[in-house]
Amino acid sequence: MSKALEDQTREELIATVGQLQFRLSELERMIFGRKSERFVPSVPSADPLQMGLFGEMPSEVAPEPVKEQITYERQKPKAKNANHPGRNELPAHLERIEIELQPEEDTSGMKFIGWEVSEKLGYEVGRLYVKHYKRAKYARPDEAGIVCASLPAHLFDKCIAEPSLMAKISVGKYVDHLPVDRQFKAFKREGVNLPTSTAYDWIKLCASRIEVVQEALSKLILSSDYLQVDESPIQVLDKELKGKTHRGYMWVFRDPVRKLVFFHYHPGRDKNFPKEQLKNFKGYLQTDAYGAYDQFKQHPDIIPLHCMAHARREFEKALSNDKARAEHALQCFQQLYALEKKARDQNLDYDERKALRQEKAVPILDELEAWMEQNLNQTTPSSPIGVALRYYLARKGYFRRYIDDGKLEIDNNLIENAIRPLALGRKNYLFAGSHEAAQRAAIFYSIFACCAQHNINPSAYLNDVLCRLPLHPINKIEELLPHRWKID
């Protein structure tokens, strides 16, 4: 074997070993390591306000929170007896709030003959209570019939749960990530023993009523001129796949300007779903580099841009492969993010933020991309640093497009934050019971994500909206959206 061939073989083996070591380290990090992508330079600048490479911008960014995975195991509850014994009476020890209702009809001259009694189970923070409705009944003169006071308009006819309790259970499951059976065990400690299946019926009923709010939310978000889109997997039980779960996806659409988020469940991840959803959309569309979004690059009314955090992530992964090059790139990204932090801290408007980017970010991007071009041919294409360089350079126009408009964000991190409750929930309830259940989850995630964006108490919001919906005009549903919601 010639020396040239031996050298080539040696280089190939070294590259292969390097790739395998990188894959092993990534696997170990996924299983055992922390998920934070925070980068601290090996040799920090002596002056924290010194930009170091290209200018005068500080290189420090706010530390990102450390993430941790929480898992647990639970036994599947045994099937209930098919012969249901009927609804249990509400416990006598619970506080009763007496509410007396009189008929709207004039009862003068009528004989009072008693009360028609109905009870509904409600909830306040830290306690269960029962609303004890006493509806006055009157007999008309000359046996002309009976008059009875009407119950208040209620979204859930023939259901003992008040909106407050519906809100408590829904927020517990989709915001606090508490499985329904855990919540009902807590109720049992208070002496209220209800079957878990009842809670699922309540959630199903609640979702069917507030779906109209989610539809209005979807319509409003898709009418904006700037959207961020991402998708996240969710396991779903499928009756056609016995003993297995189906991998579905939550597609998430975020309006960064109005701070609104919309979840939609779809069984697949194919390109036809976003195509259908965005068929009337016009404006900026910010995504990751997933191939389903490539179809919008030639769309006459859509201006695509990519998430800078995904580019940065590739270099963070390459630290163990080529520390010098990866650190150099990460320091540049750090400077770009320091500019964004400065804009937020100073509450710059869109025009001021664009001017700052044009003055400071453009030189950083120009220098960074020139450096990448110079180093591209000095790296192995399949190595982590080679992948990172090629990933960015193949999409550089889409990564740097955020500098063209001050309302655009540098990355999709805010939409990923909106998805985080879904990821946490998956650790607890493991899967959705059906495709319909996954779509119901999307309804709650949409509404609660918007509440989080606007610092609204989700329990107070959902309780109030459930109370208003029976009498609220259908053509004014937008008034109930979180960003416009006001308590009377």
Q: List pLDDT tens digits, range 290-309.
A: 999 999 999 999 999 999 99
Q: Give the mean pLDDT of 189-212.
A: 90
- Is the same domain home to 360 and 289? yes
Could you say which of 115, 135, 152 is where a domain stops?
152
Question: Which residue range is the domain that position 117 belongs to?
Answer: 92-152
Determine, yes or no, domain membership for 376. yes
- Is the same domain home to 97 and 235? no
Q: Give the mean pLDDT of 461-488.
A: 91
Q: Tokens in use for 429?
A: 């309830």
The tally of domains found in the chain comes to 2
Determine, yes or no, domain membership for 157. no
- Is the same domain home to 143 and 225? no
- Is the same domain home to 321 and 448? yes
- Is the same domain home to 142 and 245? no
Contact 331, 53 (CB under 8 A): yes
List pLDDT tens digits, range 419-429: 777 777 666 66
Q: Give the mean pLDDT of 155-182.
A: 89
- CA–CA gap between residue 336 and residue 57 (Å, rounded): 9
- Is the same domain home to 143 and 228? no
Contacts of 12-20 with CB under 8 Å at 24 or more apart are 15/380, 15/382, 15/383, 18/321, 18/380, 18/383, 19/382, 19/383, 19/384
Determine, yes or no, domain membership for 324. yes
- Is the same domain home to 299 and 412? yes
- Tell whether the model's pLDDT for residue 63 goes beyond 50: yes
Determine, yes or no, domain membership for 22. no
- CA–CA gap between residue 296 and residue 367 (Å, rounded): 29
- Is the same domain home to 282 and 390? yes
- Tell whether the model's pLDDT for residue 451 goes beyond 90: yes
Determine, yes or no, domain membership for 49. no
Radius of gyration of the chain (CA): 29
Q: Give the mean pLDDT of 343-349.
A: 95
- Is the same domain home to 113 and 222? no
> What interhelical angle do 163-174 and 435-453 show, nearest 10?
90
- Is the same domain home to 115 and 251? no
- Tell whether the model's pLDDT for residue 7 goes beyond 60: yes
